[in-house]
Structure 1
Amino acid sequence: MNSYDNVMGVIMGGGQGTRLYPLTKERAKPAVPIAGKYRLIDIPISNCINSGIFKIAVLTQFNSVSLHRHISQTYNFDMFHTGWVQIWAAEQTLLANDWYQGTADAVRKQLVEIRTARMPFVLILAGDHLYRMDYSDMIHFHWDKQADVTVAVQPVSREEAPRLGLLKRNENMGITSFAEKPKDKEVLEAMISQPDSDKPYFGSMGIYLFNIDVLMDLLENSSYEDFGKHVIPAAIEKYNVFGYEYNGFWADIGTIRAFFETNLAIASKNPPFSLIDEGWPIYTHPRFLPGSQVEDTYMEDTMLGEGCWIQKADIRNAVIGLRSQIRSGTKIRRSILMGADYYGFFRRGNEPDEELILGIGKDCVIEGAIIDKNSSIGNNSTILPFPPGTNIDNDLYIVRDGIVVIPKGTRLPANTRIAPG
């Protein structure tokens, strides 16, 4: 029977997230904070709930404690609701005793749980994308086309095409071929689906809807490790695969640069993705924090989380996370402060100058940086961006593509200078 109750969402969250290091040094990639108060995992789970999909599994493996904690404390349906959000961690069984080897292998190792759920349709989702999507439209498309597999696709330009997995779609919206990040001109020409458009290609969004018997066949009778590289091309050869076109905002935020730019775009004027949507909220862990207190401070294009205290600062184009403390004389430009998990010794700026406590000290200059949670930046410290493409590994900081990242829990001494030259 075609019903949303027969669709299960499976969210991939098990990888090491090396492209987001050091934000993933102590946490799973879907647990990385975003937009001041959320975590990446909140995006696909919220999309599922808002789309009427209430049976959701999150596959985890690497640094998963904080992700497990967030999910268990946030997504609890009451006893009269049939929905659930479960965590399926990598585990040793009689059938397999190794780690997940890729997205497809992760789902293969959980086929017993998928069978137990008795869902005729399985929706595979990534845990590091930012978008607001009604999956019910894609599900109806799948049913109307009598598809075996449906892939969510987005029109992309010629410039973007070599960086994505491309799917060739025919007039009936069926997928006829796949190319993974093609560079060859002949291959690129062959993958054009809309010749007269300024976005002639269709790129895969990493969102797949399978009939359960098709998913079982593709995974049980193969050793495929990845959905995009292996399973989808194999499905095109054997089954009816269709491409559901999505034209809304969608961003893969799996790299430090993409994460940085997307966060700042959300905080800007006329953001491409607004968190304010009364009809389609993004859910997260409810916290009992006071409203932020801001004293004698100039702020522009800034997103501010709850429970912050800011005194006589100048902040422009920034994301300021939960429980952030910013002291007098500090200037912040194009930066992300993830805040803190606790207040520590909170003395409202009256601590001795030589004492390092949680947050940003006095008279600091921070530009082009990501300050991870629970860090202390000493008084009179300066952090400036490096040229794009610069990568540096230091005991106190990491530079990725020119962006300075202060890892979680770091203590920068007073008068520290991190800058080119």
Structure 2
Amino acid sequence: MNNKVLSIILGGGQGSRLYPLTDTRSKPAVPIAGKYRLVDIPISNCINSGIKRMYVLTQFNSASLNRHIKNTYHFSFFSSAFVDVLAAEQTPQNNTWFQGTADAVRQSMHHFLQHDFEYALILSGDQLYHMDYKKMVQQHIDNNSDITIGTVPVKEKEAPAFGILKTDNDNNITSFIEKPNASLLPEWTSPVSDEMKAEGRNHLGSMGIYVFNRQLLIDLMNDESTVDFGKEIIPQSIGKLKVSSYQFEGYWTDIGNIDSFFEANIGLTDDIPKFNLYDTEQRVYTRARILPTSKISGTQLNKAVIAEGCLIHAEKIEKSVIGVRSRIGKGSVITNTYMMGSDTYESLEEIEKNKIEILVGIGENCHINNAIIDKNCRVGDNVTINGGKHLEDTETSTYVIKDGIVVLKKGAIIPNGFSI
């Protein structure tokens, strides 16, 4: 079955809700969990599901994404497996950027049709979950469906943020409503498992994951009036085509904004995190950087996730994720923080030659709480950053505050003694 499936991973638009993390990189290239990037999640799910032909569609800031994929996903010379990035390109037939999810697929169809496949699996590049897509494709085949939509049971209070689907007892989708008003929700419940009912998860939200039959996708893409799957193609197909729901009951989160991104990363520090990076059956793959082990001196660690290659002399790190090649000075206390790390080490020769006063990483005697520190930041000594709801949303040249979370921009230099 797997050689019948072609996977198309949508890189998303400008990612403005994840700004400033998307200021210099596309959404799928945003670093998560200290050593991975968002795009590693759907690619790893595909590899674990035996689906080895993947396209990643993107149009904004795609250089770092291209580099990551080129350096990470190498398959045997004799294999048909590949992961290719398709950035929006102007052609004689089309001189516009991608206008939406369906338009991105439409503009790239000439690449997809060079391959022999029966089913197109369309995925999102900014979600955190483990899923066996084989089961979804198999259900699609068994039900003789035209389109299958991945759905997740959600609670009533979460439902207004989703496209909500209504199904019958045979998983056929009978109607769809985009981001419904709370007053409508009692009419929009669907059959779910007893376990989901017990949790009050009676509404089916669309995960933005779809299986299409090849010919149907070609036919739909020929109609240039539609630009988006969720807003147009799916609602227009219900009632006309056999559209099925594939219910997924595991952990799944959409990393659409700074708040959800922060929660998803800090959640990895829980004793039993909802997203399991230690599952040997469902590995998450990423670039093999060949880094040394992390070295930690005199630091109290509690619920800390620390990637490789770090040099840490902090006093305390608690409920924080520390990314690759991070350096933290003596006396510093880091809590509720995601530090992404850095791309290179600074040598003593470079520091002396360039008279660098503030090194990459976090200096001495700093107190940092409720923050995201992007790659290659230089935080001086005696810096205090205390994020929280008491802070108003704001933006400066070096940091942004959103939902009480202080986000230091990539490469920001924060002077000694600075305080937020």
The bucket for the TM-score relative to the shorter chain is over 0.9
- Paired position in structure 1 for 2:6: 8
Deviates more, 1:12-21 or 1:315-324: 12-21
Measured after TM superposition, the shift of residue 346 of structure 1 is 5.3
TM-score by length of 2: 0.95
- Paired position in structure 1 for 2:85: 87
- Paired position in structure 2 for 1:189: 186
Measured after TM superposition, the shift of residue 286 of structure 1 is 0.4
**Residue identity matched to 1:147:** S
Distance 2:348 2:315 in 1: 18
**Residue identity matched to 1:76:** H
- Does residue 248 (structure 1) correspond to residue 246 (structure 2)? The answer is no
The RMSD of aligned alpha carbons is: 1.8
- Paired position in structure 2 for 1:170: 168
Measured after TM superposition, the shift of residue 254 of structure 1 is 1.4
Measured after TM superposition, the shift of residue 345 of structure 1 is 3.4
Q: Give the match's secondary structure for 1:109.
A: helix
Deviations 1:347-379 (A, max 9, x none): 9x999x992011000000000000000001010
- Paired position in structure 1 for 2:149: 151
Alignment of 1:17-416 (within 5 A): 17-183=15-181, 185=183, 187-194=184-191, 197=197, 198-345=200-347, 355-387=357-389, 390-416=392-418
Measured after TM superposition, the shift of residue 312 of structure 1 is 4.0
> Are residues 324 and 173 of structure 1, via their aligned partners in 2, closer, same or farther at CA, if it must alter by over 3 Å?
same
Count of residues in correspondence between the two structures: 413
Specify every segment of 5 or more residues in structure 2 that has no aligned partner in the other structure, as ranges: none
Instruction: Check the 8 A contact 2:12/2:124 in 1, yes or no.
Output: no
**Residue identity matched to 1:27:** R
Distance 1:341 1:399 in 2: 24
Measured after TM superposition, the shift of residue 390 of structure 1 is 3.3
Distance 1:354 1:287 in 2: 26
> Are residues 260 and 312 of structure 1, via their aligned partners in 2, closer, same or farther at CA, if it must alter by over 3 Å?
closer
Deviations 1:51-97 (A, max 9, x none): 01001000011000000000011111111111111111110111111
Measured after TM superposition, the shift of residue 206 of structure 1 is 0.8
Distance 1:257 1:125 in 2: 22
Q: Give the match's secondary structure for 2:180.
A: coil
Distance 2:254 2:58 in 1: 19
Instruction: Check the 8 A contact 1:345/1:357 in 2, yes or no.
Output: no
Distance 1:38 1:281 in 2: 12
Measured after TM superposition, the shift of residue 269 of structure 1 is 1.4
Distance 1:238 1:346 in 2: 67
TM-score by length of 1: 0.95
Deviates more, 1:381-390 or 1:197-206: 381-390
Instruction: Check the 8 A contact 2:314/2:333 in 1, yes or no.
Output: no
Distance 2:375 2:160 in 1: 35
Measured after TM superposition, the shift of residue 219 of structure 1 is 2.0
Measured after TM superposition, the shift of residue 388 of structure 1 is 6.9
Deviations 1:224-274 (A, max 9, x none): 121111111111132100000110000001110000011011112111111
Measured after TM superposition, the shift of residue 115 of structure 1 is 1.3
Q: Give the match's secondary structure for 1:238.
A: coil
Q: Give the match's secondary structure for 2:239.
A: helix
Specify every segment of 5 or more residues in structure 1 that has no aligned partner in the other structure, as ranges: none
Deviations 1:18-63 (A, max 9, x none): 0100000000000000001000000000000100100100001100
**Residue identity matched to 1:129:** Q
